[in-house]
Structures are given as C-alpha cells and as structure tokens.
A = this chain, B = another copy of it.
Amino acid sequence: MKPVYFDHAATTPVDPRVFEAMTPFFCERFGNPSEPHRLGREARSAVDQARARVAALLGAGENEIVFTAGGTEADNLALFGSLARLQPGHLVVSAVEHPAVMEAARALNGRGWDVDYVPVDGDGVVDREAYRAAFRDDTRLVSVMTANNVVGTVQPVAELARIAHQKGALFHTDAVQAVGSLPVDVDELGVDMLSLSGHKLHGPKGVGALYVRRGTRLQPLLHGGGQERRLRSGTENVPGIVGLGVAMTLACEAMPEVRPRLERLRDRLVAGVLARVPEVTLLGHPTDRLPGNAAFAVRYVEGESLLLRLDARGFTVSSGSACAAGSDEPSPVVQALGVRPEDAHGSLRVSLGRENTEEEVDAFLDALPPIVDELRRMSPLYAKR
C-alpha cells in the first residue's frame, strides 16, 4: 500500500488545482504589484482577486484582509499589533492556544502585560466561569482559538467574543485549524481579528491572512514599503497569495461533501481504536471537534516512538503538535485537559484529510494494535502497571 497521510493538522499537500493556479506567477506573470506597469498591474489584480475571495468566504470586506507569511505571523500581528499603542494592561488567552499565540502572549508579558491563561475542561472547552472571572477593567484583548490543533476541540467563540465585547475587550481567534474545515463567518463569530494559514487547507506554506474588522486599529510588525495598507510591508508573495485564494475557495466549496465524510471516517477510526487497543482514551470533545481530528492518549507508550513505528509501516501521523523546539515535553494542551504527564507522553494525533479513504482507516486499525503491543512489551512501565 502506498503511504497513508494522516497528519493534515500539521500540514497538507497543495491541491494540484491550487498549484496550477499559482504556476504562471513564478516565471511569467512575475511582476511586482507595486509597479504601475502592465506586469505590475497584472500581479496587483491577482492579489486583489485573492483578497476578494478570502474576504467573501469569511463574510468580510476586502479591506479587512491583511495577507501575511502564515498563521504564526497573523497571530503575532493580531496580538502585538493591536496592543502596541496601548499602555500595558491585561490580556486573556486560553490554556490551549497554539505556541504562536502562547509565545506572543509570553513576550507581551515580558513587556509588562499581565496574562491570564483560562483553563479548559476535560474535553478541552474553555471553562466559562473561569473565563468570565478572568476579565479585569484593563483587559484589552482576548485570544481564544476557533479549534484546537492537537485535540480538535471547537470553542464556543461567538459566545466568548460576546462576553469579551461586553467587557470592552477586543477578541481575536486563531482559526488556522478551522478555516477550510468548518464554516467560518466573522460576523457570526463576532470577532475583531481572525488568523488563517494556507498550508492547513491544501494551499501553500508561507502564506496566511489576518482578518481585521474595520475600525480596529493595528500597528504593523513589518515596516517598509507600505504594502497591505501599511499593515504588512514587503513585496507580496503573489503566487502564494493566489494559491491561498484558490485553496480556500476549493476547501469551502467542497466542505458540504467533505465534512460529513470526514466525520464518518473519523468516528470509524475512533471507535476502532478504542475497541481494539486497551488503555487508550480519546482526547478532546467527543462531538464538538474538527471533522478530521482523532486524538488519543495511549498509556505506557511514548508518542514519538509510536509515530516512528507507524511511519515505518506507512502511516504518517503525529504525536501532538509539530513545533521545532521542546517537542520532548508532553503536550501542554493534553496536560491542560487534565491528563497526567506520563500519559500525555503517549499522545497520538490522527488527522484526516479530504483525500483519505475508508480502506486507509481500516488498514490503520489493523496496523495499530500490534505496534502498541510491541512498544508496551518494550516498556518498563507496562510490566509494573
């Protein structure tokens, strides 16, 4: 069998139609959008068209979209950009944010901002009481992700944003995992800022966008030629932006068909794993979760070992979130759900995408139990349990 890719939460292959749409902008229609000549105007209108697409798919206006070099930059721009002008005050984030928000919050903390990390319940949903209680008079910004990258839990963003606004704070959501998988409308959510990233939705790496609601004042992170309405300088990544526009369009068009199909595949996978492997727990909310996300804690097994063995057998999965540093720490997200650190080390994330099939899921369900078994037999913890 050819390798089975089950790591769509880490990144996705570029859809061939997206690649095709990008292709002319590398070698032929390569103009700099800031130049007034024909080649430049052609590039400018390609960027504008992508902007119109992204805006429409989010229910936003065209000049509410700022293209960035990815989800991380969008998150950083949201946090640093909206707070830059202000005297240090108070910032609220959830305990399960992606490092792009978490580390930005920590850096703000180093600049004098107080940060509260609102806990989540055992399913990974933000604790409403703790959330309400976190607000202070000087709470300026809240950032809670739309859906979690490790355990897939979807947050009640609309409700959380409403509360933040009642308290006079801005609301940002990292929707990097949600856009393209779930319907996302900025007005339904009622958010002031929203981050998304191309490579999570079968678009290219190195491009993303921040939605910024009209009237929200932002300082740029990158200063220079004044591109993106001065909010993000630098020659536009034209092929990347074109790719993002097409990828989002394709993902949203396919959603009515893909979403229920992925949910069925995911539920089959979850049920199969729980039935066939003892001492495994599903992580994240049982139903309010990303269509393709199945996350588990597998006791007595270390996650990277499990991942590498599955990889050797042709199944590409993750043991949590992909980030370059400190990956030997048990996932802080999994620990935030109340899982013990020794069990959090055994986290396994299977994230399905639109090209996956039932056969692949069934093959995985056959492959997993003997691998877990083998690793457990090798584990000094298992004998002692």
Kindly report how many copies of this chain are found in the complex they form together: 2
B224 with A72: CB separation less than 8 A: yes
CA A163 to CA B106, docked complex, whole Å: 37
A19 partner residues in chain B, CB cutoff 8 A: 26-27
- Nearest residue (CB) in B for A29 is B13
Query: CB distance A323 to B224 under 8 Å?
Result: yes
The answer to whether A224 and B34 have CB atoms under 8 Å apart is: no
Residue A258 lies at the interface, judged by CB distance under 8 Å to chain B: no
Residues of chain B with a CB closer than 8 A to A106's CB: 223
In the complex, what distance in Å separates the CA atom of A39 from the CA atom of B226? Answer: 37
B residues near A218, Cβ cutoff 8 Å: none
> Which secondary structure characterizes the binding site on chain A?
loop
B225 with A36: CB separation less than 8 A: no
Q: How far is the CA of A295 from the CA of B136 in the complex (A)?
A: 58
Please determine whether A100 and B206 come into contact, CB atoms closer than 8 angstroms: no
Q: Is A123 an interface residue (CB 8 A)?
A: no
Question: Which residues from 1 to 45 on chain A have a C-beta closer than 8 Å to any C-beta of chain B?
Answer: 3, 5, 7, 10-16, 19, 22, 26-28, 30-40
Q: Is the CB of B224 within 8 A of A99?
A: yes
Instruction: State the A residues within 8 Å of B (CB).
Output: 3, 5, 7, 10-16, 19, 22, 26-28, 30-40, 69-73, 75-76, 98-100, 102-104, 106-107, 197, 199, 204-207, 221-228, 230, 233-240, 304, 307-308, 311, 316-318, 321-327
